[in-house]
Amino acid sequence: MFAVEDALRHALPDRRGFMRLTGCTLTGFAEVWMNVEPAEASATFYGGRIGDDFVDQMEAGLPRLRLLEAAYGGQRACRLLDAELGMVNEVLSKSSYTSGVARRLHALAAELGRVAGFACFDAGLHSAAQRYWVAAVHAAHAAGDRVQGANILKSMSLQCHDFGCFGEALRMAQCAREGVGQVTPRTAAMLALREARARAAMGEAGECERLIAAADKLIGLGFSEDDPAFIGYFDEAEFHAQAGSCYLDLGWGRHADDHLTSALERLPRTKVRDRATYLTRRADAQRGLGNVEEAAALLAGVVSLVQQAPSRRNVDRLLTVRNRLPASAARRELDEHLNSITSPTG
C-alpha cells in the first residue's frame, strides 16, 4: 500500500495545477497495468481482525460520497474523501484479515482513490489528482479488479485531454479498453466513448464516429445486473454529452448542439456540476454556429450553477468560451454575471 500512503501524505498539500507524469512515463504506467497479473494479496497482523461486516459498512458509504462529490463539487469533497481513504489505508496497514477481505479492502481503496482523484481534478489540483489515481490503480490491481483499474485510467485519459496531451489521452484510453477483459455492454460503451474523445481531439473523425456508433449500440442493450456500482452515472444523458463533446472537438457544431441538447433534456436536476459543464459546451457549439447572443445567454446561466457546485474546471471552461465570443452587448452583459465568480470576493 505504499502508493496509497504516498498519495495520502503528498496529494492535498501539493497545490500544483499541472500533472507530474507525462509522455512515456505516463503511458508506460498504463501499459504495465494492462499486462501484469495481480499477485495474491497478503494480510498483515499489526492490529485487530477485520471481517466482511466491517467492509460492508465502509462500502455502504460509497454512494453517498459519489453523490456529494458530483453534486457539490470536488473542492468541497476532497478533504472528506482523503479522510475516508486514510481510514481504509490504516486498516490495511495495521489489521489482519482473510485474503477475501483483503481484496475487498483494496477495491474500496481503489474506488475512494478514484473519486478523490476526480475531486482534486475538478478543483484544479492536477498533481494531487494524479497521485490519487496512480495509488488507486495499484489498489485496483491488488484487488484483481481490472474493471476498476480501467475506469481510473479512463479518468487519467480525460486529464490528459484537458491538458492538450492528446497522444497520452489516446494511449491511456486504449490501455483501459484493451486491458479490461470481459465487461458489461454499458461498461464497454463508457470506455469506447473515452477513446472517441481522444480520437476527436486528434482529428480522427472516422475512427471517432465508429466508436460513437459502437457505444450507441452497446448502451441500447440496457443495464445489466453485473454492471459495476460506479457506472450508475453513465446513462443516455451521459452518452449524448460525450458524443456531443466529441463532435465539438471535431468542429461539427450542429451535431454537437443536437447531442448536447439531448443530454441536457435527460440530465437529472440534481447533477448541477454536469449541467454547468454541458451548458458551457453547448454555448461553445452555438458560438461556432454564429449564435453569439444564445451562447452568451447559456454562459450566463452557468454562473449560478457554478456557485451551487464550485468547479475550477467549469470556471476555466466558461472563461475559455467567453474569450472566444466577439465583442458585443451580449458579452458585456455576460461579464457582469461573471464578476460574481471571478472577482477576489466572489
Q: Cα separation of 57 and 61, whole Å?
A: 7
Question: Pick the residue with more confidence: 218 or 344?
Answer: 218
- For range 148-172, the mean pLDDT: 97
CA dihedral 245, 247, 251, 253 (to 10 degrees): -90
Q: State the Cα–Cα distance between residues 130 and 38, nearest whole angstrom.
A: 21
Task: Using alpha carbons only, give the angle 82, 100, 179 rounded to the nearest 5 degrees.
Answer: 70
- Looking at the chain, the number of H-run helices and the number of E-run strands are 17, 0
Place 163 in a pLDDT band, splitting at 50, 70 and 90: very high
Cell of 19: 500533472
E strands along the chain, which residues? none
For residue 13, what pLDDT is reported?
63
Q: Distance of alpha carbon 12 from its chain centroid, rounded?
A: 18
Q: Between 79 and 165, whose confidence is greater? A: 165
Task: Give residue 48's pLDDT.
Answer: 76
Residue 176 scores a pLDDT above 80: yes
- Locus of grid cell 500544483: 16
Residue 50 has what pLDDT?
A: 87
Residue 218: burial class (beta carbons within 10 Å; 0-12, 13-18, 19+): buried
Residue 72 confidence (pLDDT): 79
Residue 255: pLDDT band (50, 70, 90) is very high
Categorize the per-residue pLDDT at 346 as very low, low, confident or very high, splitting at 50, 70 and 90: very low
Q: What is the pLDDT of residue 41?
A: 34
The runs of H, that is alpha helices, within 15-145 are: 23-35, 52-60, 62-72, 74-94, 99-122, 126-142
314, 276 in Cβ contact below 8 A? yes
pTM for the whole structure: 0.83
Q: How confident is the model at residue 77 (pLDDT cuts 50, 70, 90)?
A: confident
Would you say residue 329 has pLDDT above 60?
yes
Mean pLDDT of 157-162: 96
Q: Model confidence over 202-254: pLDDT tens digits?
A: 999 999 999 999 999 999 998 999 999 999 899 999 999 999 999 999 999 99
Q: What pLDDT score does 170 carry? A: 98
SS3 content of the chain, % helix, strand, coil (to 5): 75, 0, 25
The pLDDT mean for the chain works out to: 89
Lowest model confidence (mean pLDDT) among 74-83, 114-123, 204-213, 317-326 = 74-83
pLDDT digits (tens, 9 = 90+) for 259-311: 999 999 999 988 999 999 999 999 999 999 999 999 999 999 999 999 999 99
- pLDDT at residue number 39: 39
pLDDT at 35 over 70: no
**What is residue 42's predicted lDDT score, i.e. its pLDDT?**
40
Q: In this predicted structure, what is the pLDDT of residue 341?
A: 81
Q: What pLDDT is recorded for position 12? A: 62
| % of the chain exceeding 70 in pLDDT | 86
Model pLDDT, residue 32: 56
